[in-house]
A and B are shown apart, each in its own frame.
Chain A
Amino acid sequence: MRRLLGRIAFGFSILVLIAPAAMVFLWMLSLSLKNELDNTAYPPVFIPAPPVWTNFEAVFERNDFLGQAWNSVVVSFSATGLAILFGVPAGYGIARMQATRVAVVILIARITPGLSYLIPLFLLFQWIGLTGSVVPIIIIHLVITVPIVVWVMMGFFEGLPAELEEAALVDGATIWEAFYHVAMPLCRPGVTVAVILSFIFSWNNFIFAMVLAGRESRTLPVAVNNMLTFEQISWGPLAAAALLVTLPVLLLTLLAQKQIIAGLTTGGVKGG
């Protein structure tokens, strides 16, 4: 009897733990599927009956939502791709050279507030006339993605025994061949972690595009924030837009939970 009570209490405490997370997302979904009358009803209407799609239609009609989604995709993919291109070899080099000081710079870069990069780079982009397109946004997103990739890969290569590559070197391979043919194939799981984290933090980033984007180069988080500023009362379309912005990331989290947890706990620091 006491054990049963203990179990019920434990189950209840788990429910209490996950309720806030679940409720906020469910409320977001609920708001996005109700008409304006139900959304502003008091007491609140919880279950959309029947669910309506008008909010999502409004999002796609009223704003250049698809264009902004495309900007977000271009920025996040480019920033992640470039970071992998530069960051994977660098992580390898740092691990093999045991370059502790470089690692410290990368760590500090990871945890420095984004605004400290934004002010100087904003001025720089203005000087060289690089404004209005997505190019400056991609460049500044490297501030987030490169340190994440280097950090994750560094940790990963450090955990990889060097013997295999040394054997290849003894057999006459160059260090590039040893890297490309021996280390790279082994580190694919690490690259997956790096890509996922880098993509998510780039996708979620708000402040960089907020300052740097012109009308044509806004990313989704900026677009959604602008909606809040200009349409404070229409909750349905707002919730629908918010849901659409965060949905790719939530799906990615569901699919790649293991990699995300591995990357965040060994890397230890979040990005942004």
Chain B
Amino acid sequence: MSVTTAPVAAAVPGTRRRNYARRYWWFIAPCGVVVLATILFPWSFTLYMSVHEWKLGGGRTFVGLANYERLFTDERFQLSILRTLYYTALAVVFPMVLGILAALAFNQKFPLRGLARTIFILPMMATPVAVALVWTMMFHPQLGVLNWLLTSVGLPPSLWVYDASTVIPTLVLVEVWHWTPLVMLIILGGLASLPQDPYEAAKIDGATPWQAFRHITLPLLTPFIIVALIIRTIDSLKAFDTIYVITQGGPGTSSETINIFLYLNAFAYYNMGYASAVVVVFFLIIVALAMLLLWARQRFKDAI
């Protein structure tokens, strides 16, 4: 379902068509006011704040682009970007691979499929804070169930989120657990829409299942894979809840992603102006990805 495909009321041509359409503004207007107040106002106000030195409780002074310049020299911010990229790379690749495999499995018919699929998608809807809490208990180095599992199969125990070198992969583990179902659902929707004819033709021509997958399924699935990829990238970039609840950016600053850095600057150090500059940069990245998503939807309009 693409944004840009709308039904055609082509019966009314030219200007009359336009006047006819214009009356529908009244349907949008009330919601427009809400969007203006809660969405567009915050966006523009953030832009305004980002060119000020703005301490909560203190005064504010216009500083031009100084906050943005500071971003270029702030090592802590740059490290947070690197961590976010590291986190995002892992949190995109693993759910994509697992999600595609799971979708292929759930596309087969087998007993209790409905139940299995329901269980599989539960993590996606679960309250992130609640889930993060249980993972925190499981990560406990001495009493956690995960280290018991590791040692009982003969592997060395891990410090999980309590060590700077393992904290990000560990947080990614939670993210993978949480969001692989969404990738699975998008790909499964794609699989459901595939035409059957090419497969029959391939069978007649004596293609192996792997060849059929490689040369028919994969190319036809590409639009869905791209959409899932972009959505996963956006979601990983802005991951916050589980990271905040489990580590709050720690130990030290070793799991401080852009979003956590942003939160701390705004609500722990009350540097509203500086935090706003971070928001603006972050926002531009997200908008660029959104445009990519729209482009992909447009490009593969027929398929989705």
List of A residues within 8 angstroms of B49 by Cβ? 119-120, 123
Instruction: Give the distance to chain B from A253, nearest Cβ to Cβ, in Å.
Output: 4
Contact B121 A93 (CB under 8 A): no
List of B residues within 8 angstroms of A11 by Cβ? 110
Tell me, yes or no, whether A20 is within 8 Å of chain B by CB: yes
* Bound-complex Cα distance A122 to B3 (A): 32
Interface string of B27-40 (1 = CB under 8 A from A): 11011101100111
Contact A96 B42 (CB under 8 A): no
Contact among A111, A113, A166 for B259, CB-based, below 8 A: A113
List of B residues within 8 angstroms of A99 by Cβ? 28
Tell me, yes or no, whether B91 is within 8 Å of chain A by CB: no
Contact A246 B177 (CB under 8 A): no
Q: A113-B238, A115-B240, A264-B182 are in contact. Are A253 and B121 (CB under 8 A)?
A: yes
Please give me the residue from chain B that is nearest to A158 by CB atom: B6
Contact B7 A18 (CB under 8 A): no
* Bound-complex Cα distance A20 to B134 (A): 13
Contact among A106, A140, A162, A200 for B38, CB-based, below 8 A: A140
Within B104-163, the residues touching A (CB, 8 Å) are 105, 108, 110, 116-131, 133-138, 142-143, 145, 148, 152
Tell me, yes or no, whether B62 is within 8 Å of chain A by CB: no
Tell me, yes or no, whether B164 is within 8 Å of chain A by CB: no
* Bound-complex Cα distance A243 to B263 (A): 27
Contact B125 A200 (CB under 8 A): yes
Contact among A82, A95, A124 for B7, CB-based, below 8 A: A95
Please give me the residue from chain B that is nearest to A13 by CB atom: B105
Interface string of B218-239 (1 = CB under 8 A from A): 0000000001000100110010
Interface of B is mostly: helix
* Bound-complex Cα distance A242 to B149 (A): 23
Q: A44-B148, A102-B28, A143-B38 are in contact. Are A166 and B11 (CB under 8 A)?
A: yes
Instruction: Give the distance to chain B from A181, nearest Cβ to Cβ, in Å.
Output: 15
What interface size band does chain A fall in? 35 or more
Q: A93-B28, A115-B266 are in contact. Are A18 and B119 (CB under 8 A)?
A: yes
List of A residues within 8 angstroms of B259 by Cβ? 113, 115
Q: A119-B275, A179-B27 are in contact. Are A97 and B38 (CB under 8 A)?
A: no
* Bound-complex Cα distance A143 to B40 (A): 10
Known pairs A21-B123, A97-B21, A113-B240; list 20 more (Cβ under 8 Å). Answer: A28-B130, A86-B30, A86-B34, A89-B30, A96-B21, A109-B39, A112-B286, A115-B266, A120-B45, A124-B41, A142-B38, A206-B127, A221-B128, A221-B129, A221-B130, A242-B129, A250-B122, A260-B121, A268-B231, A270-B182
**Cross-chain pairs A/B with CB under 8 angstroms, 5 sampled:** A18-B120, A24-B135, A120-B46, A158-B6, A179-B27
